[in-house]
Amino acid sequence: MENLIDLNIVFIGTGAISTSIGNVLSFKKQFNVTLLSIEKDVVDSINNDHVNNKYFPKIDLQHSLKATMDKSVLSTADIIFIGIPSNIVVGYIEKHKYLISSKTLIVNLAKGFGPNHKTIPQALDKVIPNQVLSMKGPSFAREIISNMPTGFTLVSKKDKSFALFADIFSDTSIYLDYSTDVYGVEFASILKNIYAIIVGIVDAHFDSPNLRSLVLTKSINEMRYLMSKFGGKEETMFNYCGFGDFSLTALNDLSRNRTLGLLIGKGFFTADISEKVTLEGKIAVTVFVEEIAKKRQIKTKKLMMKELYNVFNDEDYDITNFVNKILYISEHGN
């Protein structure tokens, strides 16, 4: 795949992240970039009007960016980016693996768990023989579609394809750093949602730079501690996927998980909101405390994460005490 001319790049999904990264790559005319969708109206709007009428109706897309509902496009793909919700990634690939060449590179963009609380690369390795990579970083899609410089960590067990992706994304608005720490990168991308909720709750109660910085520091230390327990490397916290992604998610009101924290802190969060919106952090808290931590014999009692778990699972929880409780943990914790 050394020749980048006529490289076939397929994105599974026509959501915000697939459309935005696909559009960035479409500026490079030597690539054939196609978005694979199940939504006919979105496909038609991309092909005919050069807009994504569902996610970016007011933003003109590159005319070379195409969309299709024909899954056979997977069979000619050199690289497949997966941009669908994390809970359906593995099932989708398993169902359609007969279409995918074993030489095709698979890049996971989803942030979350696969089946049985495995990371998505772990689960995909059981399903297909392909090299699986992930791209994780501080990346709001509306910024990417506007060609704002954006950082991603590209991770894979082996570094043999890193040079290829450096060439693919060269001279674009997307900047890469690289890691072979698959566990660390995957868990960082999940943990940051949990701690973004915590920061949101704190900010809902106190608009205090001092307190915010205290909680941010404690959050980073807890993430670093947990990543090491899962076999990840502490230095991964200093990649785009670590501190960069966490700070974006925790401090920017475009973040759904920070917004969830603000709603909880102000007393506006309801079960109805939870059911209608995919909130990765809320799901992850339960998985970590009830499943993963127990299996790995990690004591969560002295972690802020456990206090957030109590918020979600104690109907009589007094949210006005949340900040005092995590400050107590901060002083008497690990």
Mark whether 192 is an active-site residue: yes
At 274, the amino acid letter reads S
User: Which run of H or of E encompasses 262?
Assistant: helix 256-266
Asked if 39 and 63 touch (Cβ cutoff 8 Å), the reply is no
Contacts of 28 (CB under 8 A, 6+ apart): 168, 171, 172
C-alpha separations of 282 from 30, 256, 264, 271 in Å = 42, 11, 12, 12
Catalytic residue among 28, 111, 136, 192: 192
Q: Where are the alpha helices (DSSP H) in 97-255?
A: 120-125, 141-145, 162-168, 182-205, 209-229, 245-251
User: Which run of H or of E encompasses 8?
Assistant: strand 7-12
For residue 124, give the nearest of 106, 136, 143 by alpha carbon.
106
Show the beta-strand stretches assigned E in 73-115. Answer: 79-82, 105-108
At 270, the amino acid letter reads T
Q: How many beta carbons lie within 10 A of that of residue 74, not counting itself?
A: 21
Ramachandran class of 11: left when φ > 0, alpha when ψ lies in -120 to 50, beta otherwise: beta
Tokens 């809902």 locate to 204
Residues with catalytic annotation? 192
